Every structure is written in C-alpha cells, then in structure tokens.
Amino acid sequence: MARLFLGIDSGTQGVKVVALDEATKTLIAESSAPHELITNDNGRREQHPSWWIDAVSIALEHVLAADGVDRSSVAGIGVSGQQHGMVCLDAKGEVIRPAKLWCDTETAPQARGLTDAIGGNEAVVAATGNSMAAGFTAPKLAWLKENEPEAYERVATVLLPHDYLNFWLTGEKKTECGDASGTAYFDVHSRTWNPMILSAIDPSGKLEACLPELIASDAPVGLLRPEIADRFGLSESVVVSSGGGDNMMAAIGTGNVVPGVVTTSLGTSGTIFACADHPVVDPQGELAAFCSSTGLWLPLICTMNVTVATETVRSLLGKSVAELNQAAQAAPAGSHGVMLLPYFNGERTPALPEARGVFAGLTPSNMTPDNLCRAAMEGATYGLRYGLDVLVRLGVVPTEIRLVGGGSKSRLWRQILADIFGCPVVCPTTAEAGALGAAIQALWCRRQYDGVPIEIGTLTQEYVGLDPTSRVEPDTNNQHIYEDCYQRYLDLNAAARFLYG
C-alpha cells in the first residue's frame, strides 16, 4: 500500500493542508481554512493559538475525507508555521495569552532596548548571527515581561507557532534549528540557545528553563497522541517530523536545499532566500542568518509588506484581484512616476519598524487607479530588490528565481519582478510550497525513522517540479526604466529613515 504524508502550513492568513502520495510523487488532496487577526494602530498583530488548531482540524478533516485518501496509509505529518511568534504556556501546558506574531511591531521599543543593553547591533550580530528585529521572539518576551508581568510570571514554556502545533499533535515540547534561529536568542554558529541574550531579557535565568529541546531537522518530534489519532481516524504510529518555519519549509518545497538556488515569496510578507553550506552573517544585520530545516543554513531577507500593498490598494479602489491586475497592466513600467513605499505594517528590511506607507510622485494627471495599482506591485518588488542586493553583497548570485506565494499567480507581477531583479523567474508546479515542503520533510524523517535514510536533495529532485509555462525573462527596455525607478526608491527610503528611523 502506498504511503501518504501530510503537510500542514499554518500562516498568518490561514492554514493549508496537503496529502502527498509517496509512490506517485503527487499531491492527491489539499484544503485550507482561514485565520482571524487581532490588530491595533500601535502595531499589535496577534492570534489565539486555538484558532490555528481549529483551522488545522477543519482543513485536515477535508483532506482525509477526499477521494483517494486512505487514512490508514498516512505514515507521517510535517508542520510549517509562521516564524517568530511567541506562544507562552503555563505549567499545565495551557496557553496564557494570544500569540504575538512575526508582523507585530508593538515590540519595537523592546528590540531597541535589548540591542542597547547587549552593546549595540554589532554585539548582537556577533552573539547570534542576527540583529534584534522587532518581529523576532526575544523582544516579544521582553514586552510581555514589561507590560504583562503577571502573565510573564506564569510562563513555563515558550514555543514557536509550528512547535505549538507539534505539541498539540504529539504532546512533546521540542523545536529544530531552522525555526529556532528566528528567535534572536539562538546562535546560528553553534546551533544552541544563547544565554547572554536570554539573560538580557530576564537576568533571573528563568527563560533558559522555559525553552524546548532542540532536535535535528530529520528527527521526529514524536508520534501522534492517541486522542489525535482517534479523532482523525489515523494510526498512533504516524510520525510527526521536526517541521520548521514557513520559509524553511518553502525552501524544501521549491527544491532550495543546495547552494545556488534562490526562492522569492510574494505573500503577505515577502522573502528572498538561498541555501548555504555555512552561516552567512551580515555585519550590518540586514540579512537574517537563519539555519535551514535540512541541517544547512538559509540566508534570508524579509520584507513585511507585499500582498499587503496590493490588497490595501485593491480594497481602497473596490476592485477584484482580476481587476487589479487589469488596471496594473494598463499602466506603463514606472507607473508614470507614481511610487509607493508600502510600509503599512512598518518594515523589517530596511529596518523601519515604525514607518508607514507613503505614496510619492503624485500629480493631478498621474494619480489614476491604473498607476496606483501598478505602483503597489512595483513598490513591494523594490523592497525585495533591496533584499536581493543585500544577498548579492554577501556573495549570493542568483541565476534563476523560484517564485511562490499568492502574488506569483499574476503573470504581470512575475514580469515586473524579472525586470526589477534582472533575472529569469519561474514557479514550481505546486503553489503550496510550505505545505509541500512540510510533507517532503515528513517523508525524509520517516525514511530516517524506518532505518532507510535518503538525502533531502534526492527527495526534492523527485518531488519538486517547475512549471515551464510560468517562466518569464527580463524585458531589457523595462530593466532600464526600473533601474532609474529603483534609485528613486532608495532616495525615498533615505527620507523615510529620517522621518521614521
């Protein structure tokens, strides 16, 4: 009987679940369910972890009930989760408060305070390989200690979002180096928790005892709890793999597991990342020197506003997604001089967590819906180009961009990205890279568990395909236009640093 492997991807907007057939190397079922979001004007972005479980349960049941899915053939589950979130449990394993998310910028003062306490950005980067970004987990814990001391006193365990879903599935409190490296209290060189950073948050030493056990990327977290197995009609022998952050799982799901491949995601946030066989640390702290969820490293740039920009403009103008694309297509490259700094949620790269969105270059004649729609796509892509320049500065030279995320469905946006990046763009055949990557990692882990190990690169060659119909090449004429526009973007960024830095 062919075995099935389930991939769960729990993101900011919702959950996706897929079922991967080991024998046919295809996804035979998939489903999704949405999340709500708690927000305020001070940068708060939170979710109740129970919402994640509810959404996973809905999507998982739909997949297991799909035609061709035999519940008894499920052999493994992998979980991909939004990075950096803070999930605090009490001594009974109960959630204490809503989880603060990666896009929460309410913690910006704590990020600055911790950076200063440790001796500045260079000292932080030297200690961990990463700067103290407002979205990372460390400043969230400092915020909790300062603003909700009674809740902080109850904290017995600190988990990341994917760790919490693994805990729900298995009852085990464990994590792996990929997702752990986005906490800002993990050293990517030694692959261990950093006691100096933890002590800067809380000198009492409490936090070290609250952290989960670190396991290898190809190791299982555990087996399904009997209650979960019974609830979904699965075997208690189902292995739950280590899982990882959404970017780490998307790397697996796009075949980005060997040096030389670059992936870009056009999702709520934007990411651009590569695979490396050594830590890639940026002395300026703009690049995230993450570990991968395959035992290697994942140098990554994150911007916080990609489809946020297009969705905000689309909502303002009352357009559908198709109408937004049609309007953007009607405007020329450069949007007749209209430019958007899309910092609606603040920004991580460049580091402007308290910045706000800015339209610039407006005149009575160019302030049209078409130009606003295209400027939203272009502005989000300029931010990613800034990140690409950081990667290039540190020695990563892309020859092809593998593009995922909701924005990748737009051929126009793919062309804009190819023109601004100056590099060919292609999409994987499976759009749900995070969920697919989680399923492939589960298969990798199960092979290891069964005593028949296989290289992760061999698996991605077999299970990850590219869609030739999605490929676009840079347009030389537009490249010249966008080089000038990008320089204007850099000038606007300098002004934003003055206003919001």
Instruction: Check whether the bond before 350 is cis (ω within 30° of 0).
Output: yes
Q: How many CB atoms lie within 10 A of CB 260?
A: 13
Closest by CA position to 138, among listed 174, 173, 186:
186
State the DSSP code for 96: -
Considering 246, 282, 370, 419, which one is annotated as catalytic? 246
> Is 370 in the active site?
no
The CB density around residue 304, as the number of other CB atoms within 10 Å, is 27
Torsion sign, CA atoms 115, 118, 123, 127: negative
Closest CA to 200 of 135, 281, 110, 126: 110
Measured CA to CA, the distance from residue 303 to residue 306 in angstroms comes to 7
State the residue for tokens 């061999």. 458
- Count CB-CB contacts under 10 A for residue 306: 28
Q: For residue 88, how many C-alpha atoms fall within 13 Å in the half-sphere facing its CB?
A: 25
Strand 174-176 and strand 213-215: the pairing is parallel
User: Residue 347 and residue 103: Cα distance in Å, rounded?
Assistant: 9
Which two tokens mark 416? 């804009």
Contact predicate 456/252, CB 8 Å: yes
Which of 4, 33, 7 lies closest to 18, judged by CA?
7
For the chain, the maximum distance between any two Cα atoms, rounded to a whole number of angstroms, is 69
Are 446 and 5 in contact by the 8 Å Cβ rule? The answer is yes
- In order of 342, 376, 417, 494, the CA distances from 360 in angstroms are 11, 12, 21, 13
The closest alpha carbon to 143, from 104, 197, 182, 117, belongs to 104
Instruction: Name the phi and psi angles at 159, rounded to 5.
Output: -120, 155
> Which residues are bridge partners to 271 per DSSP?
265, 302
Total residue count of the chain as it appears in this document = 501
DSSP character string of 50-76 = HHHHHHHHHHHHHHHTSTT--GGGEEE
> Which region holds residue 217: left if phi is over 0, alpha if psi is between -120 and 50, else beta?
alpha
Three-point CA angle 375, 41, 285, nearest 5°:
65
- Catalytic sites, residue numbers: 246
